[in-house]
Amino acid sequence: MHVTVDLASEPPAVALAEPDDCTRFDVTVSGTGDDGDLDRALVHAGVGRTDDQEALVTVAAVRRLASGSVGDGWDGQFETMLDFARGRGWLTDDGESIRAHVVWQ
């Protein structure tokens, strides 16, 4: 799954692509901008924020963005993904956010 951020739109569009794929997670950014623009877009959309060269995406935002576009078994798959992320240190200490690699296109 990918959190997509389109910095070319006004306001920047933030969405969740491939929500059924709980085997990968990143933030994919298109359009012209920098880390500050990405941070503002994520905060404005209520999805998360940047942290150094990565993004912190809230678990609640992923659930909200996936709502209505995933099947019945998605919750279990997502929990498995979160458990894997926790074991790798990719969740914040409070478990509220997922640390994601940022891919600039």
Alpha-carbon distance 45 to 74, whole Å?
23
Per-residue three-class SS string for 10-61: CCCEEEEECCCCCCCCEEEEECCCCHHHHHHHHHHCCCEEEECCEEEEEHHH
User: Residue 85 has what pLDDT?
Assistant: 97
DSSP-derived pairing of the beta strands 13-17 and 26-30: unpaired
pTM greater than 0.75 = yes
Rounded to an integer, what is the distance from CA 36 to the centroid of its chain?
Answer: 16
Grade residue 86 by pLDDT with cuts at 50, 70 and 90. Answer: very high
- Residues 46-62 have pLDDT tens digits of 999 999 999 999 999 99
Q: How far apart are CA 76 and CA 55, in angstroms?
A: 24
